[in-house]
Amino acid sequence: MVCNSCGRDIKNESANFCEYCGVSFREGDSYEVKPSFNNSKLPPPMPIAVEANQNEKPVSFLNWLGTLLIPLIPLVGLLVYLVMLIIWSVGGNDVQESKKNWARAQLVFSLIVLIITIVFIVYLVFTPEFQEAYKEMLDNINNYQ
């Protein structure tokens, strides 16, 4: 037997109601049973996409130029730049999203470059060629004194 409402096969030929949607099989019923979806598997709800703030202004040219010129300040520029990157990357709502993401990427990139540089220097220091050149340099300095 096939249900006229949901189209599923019903194994019990003497059933009065569809076991899936609850519709009556009797012809003279005056009431209507609404389908119940408790037995069927529903797909999981779709996550709601977070809308980007359309009112956020882009970072201006002069703002980017000033940001990129900070490391050129004599003596303290690199330290100020590093502190500003940290502040921008963890800043709250007052920091523009594009600048926050750029600061995070810049910090990660700087960390990767620092690690590669340290590994390269350590590798060079422990090579036999460097050790030999270092001893020769020390001998030359001792000969001049």
Alpha helices (H) along the chain:
61-69, 77-90, 97-125, 128-144
* Domain edges within the chain: 1-40, 61-144
- Which residues, in sequence order, are CB contacts of 110 under 8 Å at separation 6+? 85
Structure tokens that stand for 136 in this block = 């020769």
Specify burial of residue 17 (Cβ count, 10 A radius: 0-12, 13-18, 19+).
middle
Give percent of the chain with pLDDT exceeding 90: 21
> How large is the average pLDDT for residues 100-128?
92
Helix axes 77-90, 97-125, angle to 10 degrees: 130
Q: For position 34, what pLDDT does the model report?
A: 45
CA distances from 95 to 57, 58, 67, 70 (A): 11, 11, 13, 17
pLDDT score recorded for residue 116: 97
The yes-or-no verdict on residue 49 having pLDDT over 70 is no
pLDDT of residue 53: 55
Provide the terminal-to-terminal Cα distance of the chain, rounded to the nearest Å.
110
The CA distance from 18 to 60, in Å, is 65
Query: Residue 132 and residue 145: Cα distance in Å, rounded?
Result: 20
> Which structure tokens are listed for 102?
């750029």
The pTM score is 0.51
Q: What are phi and psi of 17, to 5 degrees?
A: -130, 150
pLDDT in the model for residue 31: 40
